[in-house]
Each structure stands twice: as C-alpha cells, then as structure tokens.
Amino acid sequence: MKKIKNTIVYGMFIASLALMTSCSDWLELSPIDNFGSGSYWKTEAHAKGYIDGMHKHLRDAAWQHTIVFGELRGGTHISGTSSDGSSVWYGSVINQNFDAQNTGVGKFGDLFGRITNTNLFIARVTDADYVEEAKRDYYLGIAHGLRAFYYYDLYRVYGGVPLRLGVEVIDGELDPKELYLPRAEASEVMTQIKKDIDVSLSYFGSVNDFNPYGMGKKVYWSKAATEALAADVYLWNAKVSTGDNNANPADLSVSKKHLNSLLDNYGLKLQSSFSRVHDATNKANDEIIFAVRYMEGEATNGFNEYIYNTSAGLTNKNAYLEDGTLFDDPLNIASSGTAMRYEYTNDFYKTFDKLDSRRDATFLAAYNKAEGSDELVLRGTSVVKHFGRVNNNGIRIFESDMVYYRLPWVYLALAEIANQEGNNSEVEKYINLVRERAYGDNWDKSVHGFVAGDYTTNELAILHEKDKEFVQEGQRWWDLRRMTLTKGGTPLVFTKEGSITGTTPLLNINTEAHKVLWPLEKSLLDNDDALVQTPGYEDAK
C-alpha cells in the first residue's frame, strides 16, 4: 500500500479555517483542497491524491470510532487507576457520566470536516472528464461509502445531526446564517445514509476486487466495505429506534442479503488460528473486509496504551505470570513507549475459557501472590492483540491494522438475524463456526459447541461470543444498544444480563435512557443558535 502521509496530497491538509472561525466552528469545514477550486481538480492524479487524503483522515479518526465510540462504554473497562499505577483516560465516558460539561467528545467528534472532504470530492469528480469512467465511478463509490460511514457514526452517537451535503463554504458562501444548520430529524439522517450506500454500490457496480487500481488491498474503501456497512446499518435500523425513526424489522432481510453477498462474492476465509488475524506480518489476510493501515515511519495504532510500563509502572518485577514466575518484562517492551491508560476489568478477563485461544492471543495477565502463600490472585491485564512487531532495531512498533469489518462479524451478524427469525440451526451454525476456530486443537463440540435455546439464551450467547472475538474492535457498546433481552424487548444496555458481572445494568432505563445518545457541549450550543441539545440533556444547556 502506498504510504498515506500529509505530503502525498501536496499539503492539502493545511487548508485554512479562517472563513469559518466566526460562525459554525463545530463544522470543522476544513477541505483538503489547498490549491483552490480553480487550480486543482484538473488531473487524475489530483483525484487519486484526494482519495489518499480522505483515507488519511479516516485513520485520524480510527481511535475515536473504535475505542471511544465503540468500546469504552461497554462495561469492560476500568476507570480511575490501572493495575500498573497509571491514571486511566476517558473516565467520564467509561462511567456513563454525561452532561453538557462532560460530553465525551467535542464538536460532533470533528467528523464534519471529514464529511466536507467527501462532499468536495463528490462535487468535483462526479462529472469530471479527466478520469476514465470506470475509475471515476470506483472513486465515487469510495466517497459515497465514506460519507455514509461518517454519518452512521454520527447517527448512532447523536441521533439527528445537521445534514451538510454541499460545498457552500468552499464555493464562497460566506453568509453565517446560511452556514448554520439545525439538526435534521433522525429519520432524515438514516434516509441519507441508506441513499449514500445505494449510490456507492451503484458506482462500484460489479467490481468486487479489493484493489482494482493498486491503491492498497483492504485498506482503501471498497464495494465489500460498503456491503459490510450496509449490513451493519440495516441490522441496526431493524432493531433500534432513534428519535422519530422507528425500528423497521423489514430491514433484516436487506442486512441478510448483504451479509450473504459478503460470504459469496469476495473470497473471504477464516484464518487457521485466531492469533494470525491481527498479526502485523499478515495484514490484509483473507478474513479481513476493511481495515485502517498502520506502518512504521507513518503511524502507529495507539494500543501501546493498554500495556504495562517497565520504568514508571508498578507491575514489572512486582507481579507474577500465570505459571508463578516473576513478571520481568515478558513482552520485551522496555524501549517501546507504553503506558497503561486503558485496561479491561478482571471480571471480563475471567469470562474467557483457558482452552479458548482468544484468551492468550488477546491478554497477558499479571498476578499477585496472596499474603503468606503462593496462591496467585489476578492483578490485571495488558492487551497483546494489536501488538505490532519488532523492527530491525529491536523496538516493538505498534503497527497492527485496526480492523473495522472481518468475516466472524459476518457470521455473528447472521446468527443475530437467525435468532430474530427463530432459526435455531442457523444460530448454532454461525456461532460454532467462530467458536471452533477459537478452540482450535482443543475443540470438542460436545463440550464447547453451542446448543441453541430460546431467544434470550441465543442473544446472550451471540453477545458473549462477540465479547471474546472482538476485543479492541469497537463492537460491544453498539451490541448492547442493538441486542435485546427478548424479541422486540429491552435493549441489553438496560439489563443486568448485558453487564459483564450480570448484576447491574450499565444504564438505568428509568433515569438514564437518554444517555444512549451523547450530549453537545454548552459552548457549542451557546455559539450556534441553530443547534439544540440532544433530548434528555436540555436542562444542562
């Protein structure tokens, strides 16, 4: 894959926000068209460079999409101080502490600048005659897919949001009143997401290749990525009501169609072992549908913040491994710049079966010895799933790709749909496809195989299979919001069964139902009269 750096798009990310600073600051309408509309958009190289830039922008938001939006609220992370002694970040998000002063992220997560970049590309390239038609259509499939992806994030986080689909700010619209946009209804946002998905698929046409123009296999948006997004969106909309947009069970069949297309048309296959999936020497493997690329000298993935520190941390040489030997930098990361700013709970780690290969391919556990004995007591865990590789200088580089969609996600989404349909044989089939790979040589279907039961049993089994399969892949919070205890019933986020310990719901349905969506910060509302607060947080404005 060609390296995605600011320099490859000729410095276009330096574009000024000057014409926006006095009005809609939240929009972050910073186009990557640094050369201006008159002198840029003249050659195929310009369009290709812009595609590179949009993917660089996508990578810049990967941590927010995966960890902040998808993981931290799922009840699997500790807050306060890690077992290694570091202060944990994003404590208010982990603890569901949301109001106008604690919004988790600001300015709509800075996603509108990325949306404006897709808008500009669509506006400039749709009728361009300097790119051959087939390639132009493929590029437009990417742009519409990315715009749908960003608006899907915004929809799930905020519900109704402003729909900015034009390039007025770039084309000289300087009237602040015209630049302000109110929040569209949730139904309007969902309609636009589906429209962009349809347009993206239309532009991709019959091109199922992951890399038809040599840009980068599975790390540039593709038809398969749009199909995965479509399956995700339609499954969500089949089960989750937001604002004026009621869940539509008929969308299940659309989701299923795209999931089956992913199985049939893209050559996807499970890796032989779970540990191979995220191996930095095995990128873009047959299991991956879409991932964000990290490379030495370009960008690292940030997962070094889930690992003990050898100099300032409290774990190294003060704890023990599972076999009772001293914990003495077993991962050889002394020079790798780690710090445990995030940590999964011990209760979550304990849900993993020791015979399940995903446990040790995901975590490294540290233990204390009970006072006066050699009994080991779990102290905490580091995560080794996205561990990167050791470079030629003997330094570990955290360059494992951040995967958004892969084959087991397809299997477990199909299991979820089968549960809605009352098809127990399909529920068993898809859960056991994932579970059998996880147990590998330890697999004994009579012991480890899943046997379907009633709706609740199946739904919780799918959730817990996803828990083990998708650590650090941004799934659990969305699963808790979408999956229900009974068919058409209470989302798991409001049930004790959705929590790791099975004791207390993550949110109280009577007093915290509004917290499934995120609030806007007070300063944003004060500076933009067109915006209103997310329902349930109005008193904080």
Structure tokens at 217: 């296999």
Q: What is the pLDDT at residue 538? A: 87
366 within 8 A of 83, measured Cβ to Cβ: yes
Does residue 239 fall inside a structural domain? yes
Does residue 507 fall inside a structural domain? no
Distances (CA, A) of 354 to 357, 358, 362: 7, 9, 12
pLDDT band at 172 (very low <50, low <70, confident <90, very high): low
Strand 376-383 versus strand 389-390 pairing type: unpaired
Q: Report whether pLDDT(169) > 80.
A: no
Sign of the C-alpha dihedral computed for residues 259, 406, 159 and 183 taken in this order: negative
Across residues 446-450, what is the average pLDDT? Answer: 98
Q: What is the pLDDT at residue 372? A: 84
Q: Report whether pLDDT(525) > 90.
A: yes
CA-to-CA distance for 435 and 196, rounded, in angstroms? 35
Does residue 476 fall inside a structural domain? no
Cβ-based neighbour number of residue 48 at 10 Å: 18
DSSP result, 262-319: HHHHS-----SSGGGTT-TTSTT-TTEEEEE--BTTTB--SGGGGS--TTT-SSTTTS
Q: What's 121's domain CATH number?
A: 1.25.40.390
The H or E element that residue 368 is part of is: strand 363-369
What digits encode the pLDDT tens for the residues 387-445?
Answer: 999 999 999 999 999 999 999 999 999 999 999 999 999 999 999 999 999 999 999 99
CA-to-CA distance for 262 and 268, rounded, in angstroms? 8
The domain tally of the chain equals 1
Specify the pTM. 0.94
Classify residue 67 by its DSSP letter: I
Range from 14-23, 60-69, 209-218, 480-489 carrying the lowest mean pLDDT: 14-23
277 within 8 A of 54, measured Cβ to Cβ: no
Structure tokens at 250: 């008929």
pLDDT band at 302 (very low <50, low <70, confident <90, very high): very high
Distances (CA, A) of 392 to 3, 334, 335, 395: 19, 16, 13, 7
Q: Report whether pLDDT(178) > 70.
A: no
pLDDT > 90 fraction of the chain, expressed in percent and rounded: 87
CA-to-CA distance for 218 and 210, rounded, in angstroms? 6
Does residue 441 fall inside a structural domain? no
418 within 8 A of 472, measured Cβ to Cβ: no
Q: What is the pLDDT at residue 145? A: 98
515 within 8 A of 104, measured Cβ to Cβ: no
DSSP result, 212-256: TTSS-TTTS--HHHHHHHHHHHHHHHHH--BTTB---TTHHHHHH
pLDDT > 70 fraction of the chain, expressed in percent and rounded: 91
Which has more pLDDT, 80 or 373? Answer: 80
3-state secondary structure of 39: helix
DSSP result, 398-449: ----EEEEEHHHHHHHHHHHHHHHT-HHHHHHHHHHHHHHHHGGG--HHHH-
Does residue 302 fall inside a structural domain? no
Q: What is the pLDDT at residue 190? A: 98
What count of residues does the chain have?
Answer: 541
Q: What is the pLDDT at residue 7? A: 24
pLDDT band at 173 (very low <50, low <70, confident <90, very high): low
Range from 174-183, 284-293, 407-416, 456-465 carrying the lowest mean pLDDT: 174-183
First to last CA, the chain: 46
310 within 8 A of 329, measured Cβ to Cβ: yes
Sign of the C-alpha dihedral computed for residues 144, 138, 3 and 219 taken in this order: positive
Does residue 258 fall inside a structural domain? no
Which has more pLDDT, 191 or 373? Answer: 191
Domain extent, residue 222, equals: 6-61+111-246
Q: What is the pLDDT at residue 180? A: 81
Q: Which amino acid is at 334?
A: A
Structure tokens at 365: 């556990």
Q: What is the pLDDT at residue 100? A: 85
CA-to-CA distance for 404 and 45, rounded, in angstroms? 28
Q: Report whether pLDDT(15) > 70.
A: no
Q: Which amino acid is at 531?
A: L
Does residue 205 fall inside a structural domain? yes
Does residue 132 fall inside a structural domain? yes
Residues of the chain by 3-state class (helix, strand, coil), percent to 5:
45, 10, 45
76 within 8 A of 351, measured Cβ to Cβ: no
Spatial CB neighbours of 177, under 8 Å, sequence gap ≥ 6: none
CA-to-CA distance for 97 and 74, rounded, in angstroms? 13
Q: What is the pLDDT at residue 175? A: 63
The H or E element that residue 148 is part of is: helix 133-158
Spatial CB neighbours of 353, under 8 Å, sequence gap ≥ 6: 359, 448
Q: Which residues pair with 381 in a beta bridge?
A: 365
Across residues 342-351, what is the average pLDDT? Answer: 98
